[in-house]
Structure 1
Amino acid sequence: MELLYLLWSIISNTFISFTLSLFLSFRRLFPHSTDATNSFALYQGTVWHERRRPVHHSFKYSVRYAFIDLDLAPHPPPDHLSSQQARDIAHTNGPVFLLTIPPSVGYEQNPLSLYYCYDVEGSTKCLKQCIAEVTNTPWGERVQFVFNPNLDVVAKPLHVSPFMDMHGKWSIKTSVPGDNLIVNISVNHPKLGDYFTASLTANRISSSSVQHAVFFWLMPHKVAIWIYWHALKLWWKKVVFIQHPRYENPSYKKDAIARDRNLGCCQAFSVQTDNQPQVEPNDRWIRWRDAKWPWC
C-alpha cells in the first residue's frame, strides 16, 4: 500500500507541477510583476553530504533558500511557526527569521528549515537561539527543537533516513546570516564514530528584480530527486536498510529525550504539549509531528 501511494504521489505531483508550470511560463511574459519585498531575502548555495562509514558516499547539489522576516511578511508561510510562537519557544524578544525552501508549483520538499531568533537590548540585536525544523522523506514526519547557534549537541530525535539508525547525536551550528550563511551538521555514532557530515554554504543575492516563483521553480523537486537517487545508490552499495523505529521501538521519542537529557549540553527549556512524550522541566524543548496516512 505504501509503495503504491508513493508511486501515485509521484505521478500526481508531476501532473500538478507540470500544469502549474505552464501558468508560471505565462507569468514570465510580464517581467515587471516582481514580488520582492523588504521581508524577503534570497540565498543561493550548495548542500554537501558525506558518509564515511560503513561505505564512503558523498554528493553535493545547488540549492536556493528564502530568508523570511516573519514579523514583516504579509503572508507568513503555511505549515511553519509564526514569529510569536518562535519567540515563546526560544524565550527571545526580537525579530524572527525563517530560512526555508518555499513550495514551488504545488509541491513542497524541505528537509531542514531554521528559525533565527534574536534578542534586542537597546539598539543592539544579537542572535540568541535557533529552532531547527527537520522533516523526513517520504514519511513527512517532523521534529522541531531549540539549539544554540554557536554549537549544540542533540540526541538524534527523528528517523531521517532508512540507512541510518536512531543511535548517535547531531552536532549543529550556524553562522549569523549576512552576506554569507553557513550551517554545519555532523553525526557521531557509538559504533561508527563521526561518520556523517552535512553542510549548507550560501551567499545572499539581490532580489530587487527577481520573481520568487521563477527563482524557486522546481527547487523542491530537485531536492526530492537527489534524496531518492542517493537512497537508491546507498541501497546499491549494500548499506543496510533500517525499518522505521516505530515498528520495533514505539517509545523512541521518549528514548530520544532521555538520551538528550544525558548529554547535558546547552539544554533549553521544554514545553509540554498534547500527545507528546512526558518531559522534565530542564529538558530541551522538542516537538514531533507524526506522519500522515498512509505512512502512519
Structure 2
Amino acid sequence: MTSTSPDAPMPAVPLLGVGGVRHTRLRPTHHAFAYEGFFLLLPMRQLRRQPWPALARNRWAPLAFHDADHGEGEEDSLAWIERVLAQSGVRDATGEIWLQCFPRVWGYAFKPVSFWYAHRDDGALVAIVAEVNNTFGERHGYVLRPGPGASELAWGQTLQADKVFHVSPFCQVAGDYRFRFLRIPAAPGSASSGRLVARIEHHDATGPLLLTSQSGTLFPLTPAVQRRTLWRMPWMTLGVFARIHWQALRLWWARVPVVPHPGRRTTGGPSLSSGTPR
C-alpha cells in the first residue's frame, strides 16, 4: 500500500494486521479493557483466481483460514458474500472484496465480528458487511451502504445500523450501531502495508453505551510474519473467547443487569439487515 490515497486499489496480497482490540462500557458502571491481537485481511477474489502459498486455507495449520467459519458454512465463502451483495442491490462491487477476520489458531476459531469490504474496479468502497457471531452459535450480517443524502460510501464515514441481533447478555437488542472504518496508507519507505481501524459504537435511547475498536498495522502474509506473530501471541483466538467470558464475569460481579436471550432464530442461515450513513 504505497499510495497516499485510501481509495487507491491495494495490491491484492493477503495481509496480517497486528494490533489490538479496545472495549469500553460507559453505563451503568464504567468498564474498559484492551488486548493485543491480530487479524487477516484477505483479497477474496484474487484468492479465488490464485491461491496464496503462505495461506493455509481449509486445512489444519497453526494459523489458517476456513471458509466454513463465514456465511452459511460453504466451501467458498466468497460465493455467499456475492449473493448477499446482489440481494442487497449492490451492483457495482466489480473490484476486489476484502475480508477482515480472525484466523483459526491451532485449529480453534472464534470470530465475534468480521468485515467484508466490497470495492469498485477503481478501488472505491461500495459496501461493507459486518458479520457478527455470538456465543450461542448464531450469525448476523449488517449490510452498510450509502443512504439518503450520501452519494457513495467512503473511508472515515460514520455508518448506522439498527441493532437487531443479540450479542451480549448485558445489552438489550435495542438502539443502533455507529460504524467507522479508517484505512491509513503506509508512509513512503515503510515495511508495513499501512494500517486498518474498525470502530463500533453501540448507542441506546440514553446515548453512547459501548465503544469498541479493532486495529492493526498490516504486513504481507509471509511464513516469517506468521511465525513472528504466533510466537508473540500463540493462543490469540482461544484468548479472545476466554477474555470475553472473563469480562462477562466481571460485569456480573459488578451487578450489571443480565438480559435474557430473546429466543433462537429459526432460519437456517445467517440473518441480514441493512444500514445507512448518518
Q: Scaled by the length of structure 2, what TM-score is found?
A: 0.70
- Check conservation: 1:169, 1:189, Cα contact below 8 A: yes
Aligned twin of 1:97: 98
Spell out, residue by residue over 1:194-228, the C-alpha distance to the aligned partner (whole angstroms, 9 max, x if none).
12111122111354442637735321111112101
- Give the counterpart of 1:238 among 255, 260, 268: 255
Question: Aligned pair 1:78/2:79, yes or no?
Answer: no
In structure 2, distance between residues paired with 1:86 and 1:177:
25
Gaps of 5+ in 1: 1-37, 254-272, 286-296
Whole-angstrom distance in 1 between the partners of 2:184 and 2:101:
13
Change over 3 Å in CA distance of 1:185–1:196 after alignment to 2: same
Is the 1:173–1:183 contact (alpha carbons within 8 Å) kept by the matching residues of 2? yes
Aligned-residue sequence identity (percent) comes to: 26
SS of match in other structure, 2:106: coil
What residue identity is the alignment partner of 2:200?
I
Structure 1 residues 160-195: Cα deviation after superposition (integer angstroms, max 9, x where no partner): 1111111111111212374011111111111x3212
CA distance in 1, matches of 2:13, 2:34: 29
1:201 matched to 2:218: no
Where does 1:121-140 land on structure 2 (aligned, <5 Å)? 124-137=122-135, 139-140=136-137
Distance (Å, rounded) in 2 between the aligned partners of 1:163 and 1:110: 19
1:183-262 aligned at under 5 Å gives the runs: 183-190=198-205, 192-210=206-224, 212=226, 215-216=229-230, 217-246=234-263
Cα distance change on mapping 1:204 and 1:229 into 2, 3 Å = same
Structure 1 letter corresponding to 2:172: D
Contact 1:127 1:176 in 2 (8 A): no
CA distance in 1, matches of 2:161, 2:259: 21
Alpha-carbon spacing, 1:274–1:204, altered in 2? closer, same or farther (3 Å): closer
- Name the amino acid aligned to 2:14: F
For the residue of structure 2 that corresponds to 1:159, the secondary structure is coil
SS in 1 for 2:109: coil
Corresponding letter in the other structure for 1:129: A
Deviation for aligned residue 1:86:
2.3
Determine the structure 1 residue equivalent to 2:61: none
Query: Runs of 4 or more off by more than 6 Å in structure 1?
Result: 273-277
Query: What's the counterpart of residue 171 of structure 1?
Result: 178
Q: CA-to-partner distance for each residue in 1:101-135, whole Å, 9 max, x for gaps?
A: 11111211110100110011xxx221211111101
Amino acid of the residue matched to residue 242 of structure 1?
A: V
Q: Deviations over 1:47-99 (max 9, x none)?
A: 11111111110111011001111123334732225334323433211111111
Instruction: Write the distance in 1 (CA, Å) between the matches of 2:227 and 2:104.
Output: 9
Higher normalized strand content (fraction of residues): 2
What TM-score, normalized by structure 1, do the two folds share? 0.66
CA distance in structure 2 between the aligned counterparts of 1:86 and 1:94, rounded to whole angstroms? 13
- CA–CA distance in structure 2, aligned partners of residues 214 and 142 of structure 1: 32
Task: Tell me which of the two structures has the higher relative contact order, counting C-alpha pairs closer than 8 angstroms and 6 or more residues apart.
Answer: 2
Matched residue, 1:32 = none
Aligned to 1:284: 274
Structure with a larger share of its residues in helix: 1
Measure how far apart 1:145 and its partner are: 2.0
Distance 1:146 1:177, change over 3 A: farther
Distance 1:95 1:214, change over 3 A: same
Q: Which has the larger radius of gyration?
A: 1
